[in-house]
Structure 1
């Protein structure tokens, strides 16, 4: 190491006591490790698109020509090497170990004393915690003349930059924390000052810079990427399995270069895939999906292939045209065009994510085979650890294709496990929350941005996200625009205002002014592809006209429901009833079971234990999905879960009134496939319940959707819906400025509902602003556009679940594991064997952990979440204390329902069974 001052080598970065032996890592060894890792990640782990983004986001202060790749790489090296400069201070060097023997601390202090840091063994600092080493590093760099772009990256490498520049400048008040003395003329002050400057100059030189003026200035979005890169490099270099500590009696690692390569060989599992070109459309679809592309898919391929400067693409088309395969094909094209090296596929729910994971895996298997490039694939949501497909990829020995040949091209890289690292993985399928969290102020947010900036993003069913979630969705899209990340949004039905908002968000992120956005006239076209090519907004509307499916719409009074069902199913058939609340599904389910028999009626909603719901959805698809074994007569009653990605087919449908885009989603499950139907159900008919001339709608429906869009949907509801022709027209009517023909009484109610809608949206927007990230700042200006304040007032959610609740505006609820009393022990609701004595077995603990369910918020409302959790914690200590010893169950809350499936919580009697799910019951047993 070319370090002039020998005392530098006495500074420590890490220390550990293991099995009675003492280990340490010199600060210079850790800085060199991190510098080398950071350079390697820049050159070999970042995608081509990220390296180009970094290059374009720098300004070379000594050269007016374009910034070179080498300069961008050298900057990564410098930031990695200088990130822990703040550890070269008395405030850090005198820190005691948390779990180590005091003898280890004494050994290292004596080493410092012998190196010339006199009296440090007896030093007592008044406020050492005021100078955390991350802020200390930023402070020292400011003294050396570095600007706030680089300074704020170093200051934020522990996950959160400072909130004010004064937080750095105020370090002047803690001189002893930096120099051991307040006297700048003292010998010890001079020694600390020389050591710190010596480290800085060594890192500068080793990174390829002659002096401070050679360092480039950095745009704010690119600062975020470098911040994420430094954090990632630091975490890898800090992992003692890759970069081990050395014995306390050794002065430095034996060979720093061998150490680096040994560490990286241990860490690297794959390299980013780089696609140079794509097969032509027929070959691509046959290779990836096993069939020739449909006309819609061909148009999508051709449209995306024609884009010169990709940005955002919005695909809108009716169900059944293969939007998923079209989106994956488009993603492959965009990877080739932009140099992106990964994919994120986001969906509304865990169930839809689980279903998509397998489809993406098959696509990725074909892709990796073509490019001979093994890749890691990850499922990312709260219950991903329970997914059999992902667990199969964790064990390559069990990964066997249909032809029985082993295939290890797609696997799970365990280093990327955990909420903070998951999105760094190259290929990720998960709930949309993973993307929404890109706009939530949280510690280590830069890691999430680093991960997303190397991918193509697909977000499915974007119509399913409400006004609150849209605030986070649009902000996340803005940041993708700033990074030049391709985004594909997929929907069957999308209101024009949402389409426009998404396009505007992306272009604003890319620093395009509103006055330069010219939207093409495409409102009445369907299917529709809207996309950007550079600053230009374009639309593809040239699709062959398809035959319409005409659906008759009839309004239905609820008091005639049973009679209508009886008439409809006189000759058999499958009837779907979609309602707006769980309670309503349970009530109608009870009424229908009483009238038509238990075996005829199935109920599906979100208040089933997770394993029951998955089984019910699977059985439903097997029964009334494509090529399903259809029953002679069946009534399926469900909530919104039916309208989200379940490939099922009803002969006739009854639905609660809901906003038009969602109503059309529900209609997509009516006569979905070409099959033989009962004679009186050969023509598709949709019955709509809940319409009301006075606009006095069901309270639950209003709570979920608001009165305004229910009114507009009712008023615009035709007698016949032609799909796909009428879809854009109906959406435009409901969400546009179409004037309703109302009498004076109705107009009063309607005006009040509009005011309430506008007020609610503003409240949601204001609430979202509390923890939502601000817009990316374009332009290179280190004094103004830096990471200081970037995460001011962060969301302090301790878990991913709590963070998800923040971006989804979910009412606080409690998730518990539900088991049922049997004898002296308990079993799952799907079992009949006492498993209480077998939880030490991993497979039993895992089975129990998958039986989760949410307690309805009305049960916790009166006592409050905190008090309810406190009560449940005491209950668990008394009845389920042994769970805390098992990795699958540790930290979870459970409840044991009695033999009748009942449990009393907050003086409310809850009952669970596989028929109705979880509900509150009265003394007479009724809902």
Structure 2
């Protein structure tokens, strides 16, 4: 540093000040003080390593465009500047040892005055950089977007008034009028800038401004570099200025990034030249739809949104993977995020993605992360980690504090042995999962990135370098759709390619999703009309939409299905009873001569009762699947169903599966006959999609024609009787329209050919019902519309940007009135509208101690050794929503407090009689039925 000091002509007094500023106290620096200038250069050096080893090609292009060709150096400078606000009295006074060091160098302050105002170093950095850049960049517009990146590096963007014009002037705290402080602050920025190779502070001035979404991405990457450089195990404190320099920082950063295994994905992926990419990747020839999809994305001239609509079982996932490869190669993306509707549907796609990426490079398989709250129950995920080491899901759950007592989840693990075969452990800390090069999880992960919550920029940075694939997008209700369209607006502005998949997408929803993406790409308000989204002429179909030369370009394509349409016979099975006696009797009759029957009901209790009536008729051939099974039983039963009823399974002579909505979609099974409760038309078609799904399946003679029996209704009486719970879940209005569409199908439905038309009619809001149901339809429509509007409005408070602020060019003020959710469970409540539910670990108490749900001994206090831990976790069970409040008082067992896997889960202990009292109800667990509840009399 001495050479730079001389080049800048700094006096010995100023040099002493810079040599005294501390950035990390001994308390958080691993036993050593780390000088501020050292931490800034460490952060810059980490940024350089991220450029070399992690950033997507499209991100490097963005930085080169913004900086006029100096992308790497500019990125290093931005990351170095993040903590310049620590060079203020308010920060330097926090640690007694560090404060004495600074005072000894000749800088001073009034301690009593500092106590009157809390002035944080992130805001101070924004103000300081704004002041310095104004001197060197003049009135450049670029100052306005650069300073918020610094002021927001602790996870929230303050407003301009909070930083530049605060009500209480932080003059004393900032050091603005204290002797020596302004000179020292300006010198710090000048020295670091020169150390990075710029001749002066004017030199880093950008050539062009990034969009607001691109600023969000850069903000996340700055935080990423800061957190890595704050890991004291890799960056131990440097207490003397003679030890500090960019060369040393580079050496530390190189080793840190290598040891933490922070690598990207594909990097520069070559454009595939295979004539049949599906065959090249998966070993099966392309279906017409898959070939059309790949050909279509090969002709896209700009990144955009791709809407894929194809029947159930058409091969959308494989088509999307191959399309993502083409898009990534053409537009410089480094990986893929695939969002699924549920945790259960995420797991099989996780397996598929691992297999897919390993075809490019065996090493890439280890860089695929599974992102949902129950990933530790996935066998493949758990196999990746050393069972004697701490859970990767718990490794960063503790909270460290920086000198202001703020959360500082930098991470400190250096145990690379335990993570040899999985994603880098660093990526699995809080808010960081999407930074993994390849990831599969629930769609919630993407929706979180559209919420105005702390550290949202890390999530967005994780998405911005990827191709984003979202499956079953029709499943997003009106509340979730607010976050989905918000996310698409930001992704559109950041030019992130998006692929949406659905078999049953209503036209209005299709239009809304495409419009949102294009509005973002055009930087237009959400009220801006982009023009009509074209309706495909056939099915399957693909619509591509992007912005070219400032204008939206939308192109529809369609082709025929790989299989011909066939008629599905529809029949009413009147039964609105709790017991479902008519359902059980009809299934018993239909299965008398064999066959595979799938029953999908809307309520767990009703499914349990139907199952009870059937299991005695066909012992061992009836299976129950629902959301109140413990994790182990649900996984085992799902696997058995998919194996026996799937494309590769040995089909049994007779099999009856009674299920709830868990079997509705992304459930690759083939039933000979379907019995289903009434549901909205798109979900009804999804359920029918499990019927005669695979070609070449041998079926009993009486089940060779696909038939769907629809129950949960008495269709011949007025007013129509329906299950009240079904009306509560789906609305009477949508169910009435489904009734009408079924009644109109005298010859059944020809599927998949009629799917688009049926979905369009079910959701177009034009009167549909017969005259005798017209009044009922209108009244229920009014109620449904009001409910939908209210649910949509509830999301506004949490959306990433308030509607009136969308056109703002910078991020300043983004987090004013932001949501307080920080934990993933809290975020789930933000993006999903509905009664919250709680998952508990069920255990048994025999009066002497605890056992697992499967009767394996734990201990007097529930102590779980490694060999029984998995059995304990297998008891994870979701409680009914009505028991949530009572369950909030449940705690982990005392014997779990030191267990990295179990210490965060509440336990529900079933007594010696097998029951537990909870919230005015009694709860037990039946090995076949799952969780059973009854009211206390």
- TM-score (norm. length: structure 1): 0.88
Is the partner of 1:439 in helix, strand or coil? Answer: coil
Post-superposition, which runs of at least 4 consecutive aligned residues in structure 1 deviate over 6 A? Answer: 372-375, 395-398, 775-779
Equivalent in the alignment of 1:308: 301
**Conserved in 2, the CA contact under 8 Å of 1:813 and 1:856?**
yes
Equivalent in the alignment of 1:328: 321
Q: Offset of 1:274 from its aligned partner?
A: 2.7
Q: Offset of 1:643 from its aligned partner?
A: 1.2
For the aligned residue pairs, the C-alpha RMSD in angstroms reads: 2.8
The answer to whether 1:113 aligns with 2:135 is: no
Matched ranges for 1:315-394 at <5 A: 315-368=308-361, 376-394=367-385
Is the partner of 1:552 in helix, strand or coil? Answer: strand
Is the partner of 2:449 in helix, strand or coil? Answer: helix
The answer to whether 1:708 aligns with 2:733 is: yes
**Conserved in 2, the CA contact under 8 Å of 1:161 and 1:788?**
yes
Q: Offset of 1:792 from its aligned partner?
A: 2.4
Deviates more, 1:200-209 or 1:755-764: 200-209
Equivalent in the alignment of 2:531: 517
| 375 and 616 in structure 1: CA distance in 2 versus 1, 3 angstrom threshold | closer
Q: Offset of 1:93 from its aligned partner?
A: 0.8
Is the partner of 2:23 in helix, strand or coil? Answer: strand
Matched ranges for 1:653-732 at <5 A: 653-673=674-694, 674-691=696-713, 692=715, 693-717=718-742, 718-719=745-746, 720-732=748-760
Matched ranges for 1:509-658 at <5 A: 509-511=520-522, 514-522=528-536, 525-534=538-547, 535-543=552-560, 546-558=563-575, 560-593=582-615, 596=617, 599-658=620-679
| 151 and 922 in structure 1: CA distance in 2 versus 1, 3 angstrom threshold | closer
Cα separation, 2, equivalents of 1:663 and 1:354:
24
Aligned counterpart for 1:46 among listed residues 51, 55, 58: 55
Equivalent in the alignment of 1:11: 21
Equivalent in the alignment of 1:144: 132
Equivalent in the alignment of 1:485: 496
Q: Deviations over 1:321-370 (max 9, x none)?
A: 2111111000000001110001001111222211111111111101125x
Is the partner of 1:816 in helix, strand or coil? Answer: strand
**Conserved in 1, the CA contact under 8 Å of 2:278 and 2:290?**
no
**Conserved in 1, the CA contact under 8 Å of 2:850 and 2:862?**
no
**Conserved in 1, the CA contact under 8 Å of 2:56 and 2:332?**
yes
Equivalent in the alignment of 1:889: 902
Cα separation, 2, equivalents of 1:212 and 1:769:
41
Q: Offset of 1:816 from its aligned partner?
A: 1.1
Aligned counterpart for 1:452 among listed residues 451, 460, 463: 463
Cα separation, 2, equivalents of 1:161 and 1:195:
26
Aligned counterpart for 1:855 among listed residues 879, 887, 893: 879
Matched ranges for 1:273-292 at <5 A: 273-282=266-275, 284-292=277-285
Equivalent in the alignment of 2:137: none
**Conserved in 2, the CA contact under 8 Å of 1:377 and 1:410?**
no
Equivalent in the alignment of 1:231: 223
Aligned counterpart for 2:118 among listed residues 127, 130, 133: 130
Cα separation, 2, equivalents of 1:172 and 1:32:
32
Equivalent in the alignment of 2:43: 34
Q: Offset of 1:649 from its aligned partner?
A: 1.7
Cα separation, 2, equivalents of 1:727 and 1:271:
40
Cα separation, 2, equivalents of 1:117 and 1:161:
30
The answer to whether 1:95 aligns with 2:107 is: no
Cα separation, 1, equivalents of 2:117 and 2:47:
28
| 756 and 838 in structure 1: CA distance in 2 versus 1, 3 angstrom threshold | closer
Equivalent in the alignment of 1:63: none
Is the partner of 1:69 in helix, strand or coil? Answer: coil
Deviates more, 1:603-612 or 1:898-907: 898-907
Equivalent in the alignment of 2:863: 839
Q: Deviations over 1:141-198 (max 9, x none)?
A: 233354331111111001001145245312762322122xx9x4xxxx1211110111
Q: Offset of 1:54 from its aligned partner?
A: 4.1
Deviates more, 1:37-46 or 1:380-389: 37-46
**Conserved in 2, the CA contact under 8 Å of 1:526 and 1:725?**
yes
**Conserved in 2, the CA contact under 8 Å of 1:209 and 1:215?**
no
The answer to whether 1:24 aligns with 2:13 is: no
**Conserved in 2, the CA contact under 8 Å of 1:838 and 1:844?**
no
Q: Offset of 1:546 from its aligned partner?
A: 4.0
Cα separation, 1, equivalents of 2:471 and 2:583:
34
Gaps of 5+ in 2: 135-142, 390-418, 576-580
Cα separation, 1, equivalents of 2:130 and 2:546:
41
Q: Offset of 1:256 from its aligned partner?
A: 4.2
**Conserved in 1, the CA contact under 8 Å of 2:627 and 2:662?**
yes
| 814 and 476 in structure 1: CA distance in 2 versus 1, 3 angstrom threshold | same
Cα separation, 2, equivalents of 1:267 and 1:40:
7
**Conserved in 1, the CA contact under 8 Å of 2:515 and 2:530?**
no
Counting matched residue pairs gives: 865
The answer to whether 1:507 aligns with 2:495 is: no
Cα separation, 2, equivalents of 1:128 and 1:338:
52
Cα separation, 1, equivalents of 2:703 and 2:435:
51
The answer to whether 1:898 aligns with 2:911 is: yes
Cα separation, 1, equivalents of 2:522 and 2:104:
56
Is the partner of 1:173 in helix, strand or coil? Answer: coil
**Conserved in 1, the CA contact under 8 Å of 2:304 and 2:492?**
yes
| 830 and 348 in structure 1: CA distance in 2 versus 1, 3 angstrom threshold | farther
Cα separation, 2, equivalents of 1:619 and 1:94:
64
Is the partner of 1:885 in helix, strand or coil? Answer: coil
- TM-score (norm. length: structure 2): 0.87
Deviates more, 1:817-826 or 1:210-219: 210-219
Q: Deviations over 1:383-435 (max 9, x none)?
A: 2233332233446999xxxxxxxxx9974211101231111111111111111
Matched ranges for 1:402-413 at <5 A: 411-413=422-424
| 776 and 47 in structure 1: CA distance in 2 versus 1, 3 angstrom threshold | farther
Gaps of 5+ in 1: 59-66, 97-104, 399-407
**Conserved in 2, the CA contact under 8 Å of 1:271 and 1:375?**
no
Cα separation, 2, equivalents of 1:352 and 1:445:
25
The answer to whether 1:169 aligns with 2:165 is: yes
Q: Offset of 1:273 from its aligned partner?
A: 1.8
Equivalent in the alignment of 1:190: 179
**Conserved in 1, the CA contact under 8 Å of 2:483 and 2:795?**
yes
Q: Offset of 1:551 from its aligned partner?
A: 0.8
Equivalent in the alignment of 1:78: 77
**Conserved in 2, the CA contact under 8 Å of 1:573 and 1:651?**
yes
**Conserved in 2, the CA contact under 8 Å of 1:479 and 1:775?**
no
